[in-house]
Amino acid sequence: MKLLKGKTAIITGASRGIGKGIAKVFALNGANVAFTFSKSVELAKEFEKELNSLGVKAIAYQSDAANYSDSIKLIEKINTDFDNIDILVNNAGITKDNLLMRMQEEDFNQVIKVNLNSVFNMTKAVQKIMLKQRSGSIINMSSVVGVKGNAGQSNYAASKAGIIGFSKSIALELGSRNIRCNVIAPGFIETEMTKKLDEKIIDNWRNSIPLKRGGTPVDVANACVWLASDMSSYVTGQVLNIDGGLLT
């Protein structure tokens, strides 16, 4: 049973990592996929071909979700290329970690702009279409850091906590039109980026998790599929921690 058959999903920042995992699992569940990337044209086009080979329609778009006018134009283009827009996954994000005493103003502002402003931009751009069709599922990617904070990541934590407050407000605003808005808060997810870290650091992280392992992009993607599907039709304004019990 393909839970997302006939639906179209937009996923930002999906050429690698968690976003890529979400896009692939969505396609395997029958969703048509419009995904964005910022720089890696070759990788994005390869992934586009891979998704299309799964029997769905997939198109890669080079776009900056942190830019408001880019986001408006992107949604207009996607709405022309696809028959409908049912799901939005705001996944694009960056880190610029440092202790507050060493953090530059630009590093704080840039993280807020990319991580938080992008969620506003894309949600604002897509809501008109979802309001007209009186349906939609918006999934915003936060982090356990946005729930509990983390030393050396005040900018990232602020952006991810902001996503939670924003999402709960949108759930209240749009619920009467059958548009749901929920949050995924991943914990330690092992991706291409974490492979570059020292193995001892990774083992320490794994040992601090009740399930004694890092998560995978598929773990996050499976939760997104549920929130995107009709199986969660009575769920909105919620934060789902995908963290192996880290915040338990």
Structure-block tokens of residue 233:
């039709």
The secondary element (H helix, E strand) that includes residue 120 is helix 118-133
Nearest alpha carbon to residue 17 among 186, 243, 244: 186
Three state DSSP letters for 38-82:
CCCHHHHHHHHHHHHCCCCCEEEEECCCCCHHHHHHHHHHHHHHC
Amino acid, single-letter form, for residue 202: I
Token pair 């029958």 in the structure block, residue: 30
Q: How many residues does the chain have?
A: 248
Structure-block tokens of residue 13:
């920042």
Residue 234 known to be catalytic: no
Of 61, 68, 156, 234, catalytic: 156
224/183 Cα distance (integer angstroms)? 9
166/157 Cα distance (integer angstroms)? 14
Structure-block tokens of residue 52:
């299309």
- Residues catalogued as catalytic: 156
